[in-house]
Amino acid sequence: MNYQTEQEEFWAGEFGNEYIFRNSSAENLASNLNFFSRALKQTGKPNSLIEFGANVGINLKAIKLLYPNIKLHGVEINQNASKILQDTIGRENVSNMSIFDYGSSNRYDVVLIKGVLIHINPQMLGVIYEKLYTASNKYILICEYYNPSPVTINYRGHIDRLFKRDFAGEFLRTYSDFKLMDYGFVYKGDVAFPQDDITWFLLGK
């Protein structure tokens, strides 16, 4: 498969395979249940949700427990992760491809991206923002590392693989029909339900 950026190749390959086993524990599922019960509270009871960069579905598993009747779809670049994701939400609900290649006309009540924008080539962020915007009926939930100005961080010994910035702010400045509905922060040192220093922003229109 031909990719537009080095970051796509990175996550589609061996590093992406290793990531599967680092993030599939029961403890992560419990933390995600707590996380999404807070972050999605203002969405009421959404009927559908798509996650860009769904990996093996640890986020979608938690969301399915919170909303048993919700229709779920996942976009995932890594083939091995996609196969596991198919077992969670069904083969027909998984798009094994780069987010850049996703082009369905389907719309969802909630569009989710969590821990993905930080790994996107910054020059391509505008493309991803447009994908989020186009896929959303009403809400977008952005959950990433936050920094008021763009910075690049060494990621497990790799350069140009992790970027921090104000993703939600950039999105809101581009798409004025969305507004900030809610936001929060979850600390990696939380004694009960830790997340990896995630700042989340619920945007709605």
> Does the model's pTM come out above 0.85?
yes
**Count of beta carbons in the 10 Å neighbourhood of residue 178:** 19
Residues 130-188 have pLDDT tens digits of 999 999 999 999 999 999 999 988 766 556 668 999 999 999 999 999 999 999 999 99
Give the start-to-end residue ranges of the domains of the chain: 6-204
Per-block average pLDDT, block size 10, for the chain (205 residues)? 62 52 72 97 97 94 97 94 93 96 96 94 94 98 96 70 92 98 97 94 97
Say what the pLDDT of residue 16 is.
Answer: 47
The CATH number given to 6-204 is: 3.40.50.150
- Residues facing residue 152 across a β-bridge: 163
Say what the pLDDT of residue 12 is.
Answer: 55
What's the token pair of residue 172?
A: 């809101």
Strands 151-152 and 179-186 come out as: unpaired
> What's the burial of 191, exposed, middle or buried (CB within 10 Å: 0-12/13-18/19+)?
exposed
